[in-house]
Amino acid sequence: MKKMDLLTRTKTELLKVAHRLGLRGISTLNKPELAARIRRAQQARSVKTMRPSLGVAVAAHKLTNDLKRRAIRKRAKAAAARARAARKSVSPARKIKAVVKSPKTAAVLGTDQAPVATSAAVKELSAHKFDVAPTPAARKQVFIEDNLGDLPEAYGTGRLFLVARDPHWLFAYWDLSWQQMADDRGQAVDGRLVLRVFEKNHAEPVQELTLQHDSRNWYIHVGKAATTYSAQLGYWRQGGGFNVIGQSREATTPAAAVSPDTTARFVTIPLDFSFRELTNMLKGHVRDGERLADALHRLELAGFSFPFKVEVALGPWTAEQAAALERLLGGDLWRRIRMGSFEISEWLRRRLLEELGSGTVRPRND
C-alpha cells in the first residue's frame, strides 16, 4: 500500500486498518502519523514473515483495491506506449535497451501485490541505501512509493555548457541524447565529435579535442588564469568544413595572483541609504552601463551634492606601507586552511571508521 493511498483515506478508515493490525495508542495520532504507523506495522510484518500476513493482506487489499487497479491500468498503458516507442526506434542500441527494460515492466504488471521496485532501483537500493538506513525495508519503501523512475541520460537540448572550474581548468558538458550523438557522428568524416576551445579574440581554437564515443563531459586543462574562453561542439564534415552542434557561453578563469593594477578609487556608500534611494539620487547622471559604485565615485569626485558626508581619499599610502602589508599577506598564507564543518565532520567520521577498523577504539560486547 502506498503512502499516498493511505493519505487519501479518511482518518476513520485508517483507524479501522490500524485496529485490524492490532496497533495500540493510536487514538491521539493525527492522520499523517497514523498513516506512518500503519506503514511501519506493515513493513515490520512483511520483513518478519517475508510475506504480509493474511490480515494485513486483506486490510491492504480492501483499502487500495480500486486505486491499485487504476494505477495498474495506467502503468500498463504507459508500458504499452513505451513498447511502441521502442519498436519504432531504429537504433540497435535502443532495441537492446528495450529488451533490458521489459523484465521490469513485467515485474510491475505481473502481480497484484504492491508494486515492486524495478531491478535497477533494487540494485541501487541495495548498493547505496541500506548502510545508513534506519531499516532497509523502510528505506526501500520511500523510493518505491513515488515510483519516480530514474533520471534520463540526457534531455536532448543540444546545450553546450562551459564553466571555469579553477584558474587552470575548464569543464564542459553537452546535453545530447545517445541518438543525437550517433546521428552527428554519422555525418562526421571520421565518425568523431570534436570539442574546440577558443580564447577570446582569437580566431583559431587553442585546443581541439577528439571525444570518446560515450563521453558527455570533459575537463579541459587550459593552464591560463584570468582568461576568457568559449567552446564549440561539432564535427568535421565529409568534404571539409566544421559543423557546429553547440556553442557555449564565455567562461573566464579566475585570477591566481594579485593584480598588477594598483590604482585605488574610493567611494562613500552610506549604509543607511538603500541602494534604491542612492540610485534615485543619481537619476539622470548615470552613464550608459555605469554601475552604482562607479557612478557614485565619479559624482562624489566631481563634487555632486549628496545628503551625506563624502570622503574621496583615505590618507597617504607609501611604497613602504604596501611592502609591509605584502610581507604580512605573502606566501601561501591564504591557501592553507580551508575546511568547512561538513568537511571536518566527514573527516571525523572517516577517521572514526578507520579507528574502529584498526581496533584502537573497540566497541565492547558487540
Q: Closest CB to another protein among 8 and 91?
A: 8
The single-letter DSSP state of residue 303 is T
State which residue, 204 or 332, has the beta carbon closest to another protein. 332
Binding of residue 50 to another protein (CB under 8 A): no
User: Which of residues 90 and 264 has its CB atom nearest to another protein in the complex?
Assistant: 264
Work out whether 129 is an interface residue with another protein (CB under 8 A): yes
Site string for another protein, 283-322 (x = CB under 8 A): --------xxxx-xx----------x-xxx-xxxx---xx
- Rounded distance between C-alpha atoms, residue 9 and residue 359, angstroms: 52
344 counts as binding another protein under rule CB under 8 A:
yes
Task: State which residue, 135 or 238, has the beta carbon closest to another protein.
Answer: 135
* Cell (9 digits) for 320: 613602504
At closest approach, how far in Å is the CB of 274 from another protein?
A: 6
Q: Which stretch binds another protein (CB under 8 A): 95-103, 112-120, 151-159, 235-243?
A: 151-159
Does 338 participate in binding another protein (rule CB under 8 A)? Answer: yes
Closer Cβ to another protein, 20 or 273, answer by number:
273
Return d(Cα 161, Cα 321) in angstroms, integer. 44
Q: Is 120 in the site for another protein (CB under 8 A)?
A: no
Site residues for another protein, 180-209, by CB under 8 A, read none
- Piece in contact with another protein (CB under 8 A), picked from 52-60, 91-99, 112-120, 166-174: 166-174
State how far the Cα of 91 lies from the Cα of 236, in Å rounded to an integer.
23
Phi/psi for 205 (5° steps) reads -65, 145
How do strand 217-221 and strand 169-174 relate by DSSP bridges?
antiparallel
335 binds another protein, rule: CB under 8 A = yes
Under 8 Å between Cβ of 221 and 233: no
In this complex, which beta carbon is closest to another protein, that of residue 40 or of residue 185? 40
Site for another protein in 212-271 (CB under 8 A): 216-217, 249, 252, 254-271
Extract the C-alpha cell encoding 325. 602589508
- Show the CA angle centred on residue 19, arms to residues 13 and 23, nearest 5°: 125
At its nearest, how many Å lie between another protein and the CB of residue 254? 4
| Residue 47 phi, psi (nearest 5) | -70, -45
Q: Which of 48, 62, 128, 213 binds another protein (CB under 8 A)?
A: 128
Q: In the bound complex, what is the minimum distance in angstroms from residue 39's beta carbon to another protein?
A: 7
The nearer residue to another protein, 85 or 352, going by C-beta atoms, is 352
Closest CA to 277 of 294, 298, 292, 299: 292
Cβ 121 to another protein, closest distance in Å? 10
Any contact of residue 113 with another protein (CB under 8 A)? no
**Residue 55 or 254 with smaller CB distance to another protein:** 254
Contact 251, 229 (CB under 8 A): yes
Q: How far is the CB of 285 from another protein (least distance, A)?
A: 15
Report strand pairing: 194-199 vs 207-210. antiparallel
Minimum CB–partner distance for residue 298 and another protein (Å): 11
Nearest to 158 by CA among 191, 180, 179: 180
Cβ atoms of 153 and 178 within 8 Å: the answer is yes
Closest separation in Å from C-beta 223 to another protein:
14
- 161, burial (CB in 10 Å: exposed 0-12, middle 13-18, buried 19+): middle
| CB-based contact 151:223 (threshold 8 Å) | no
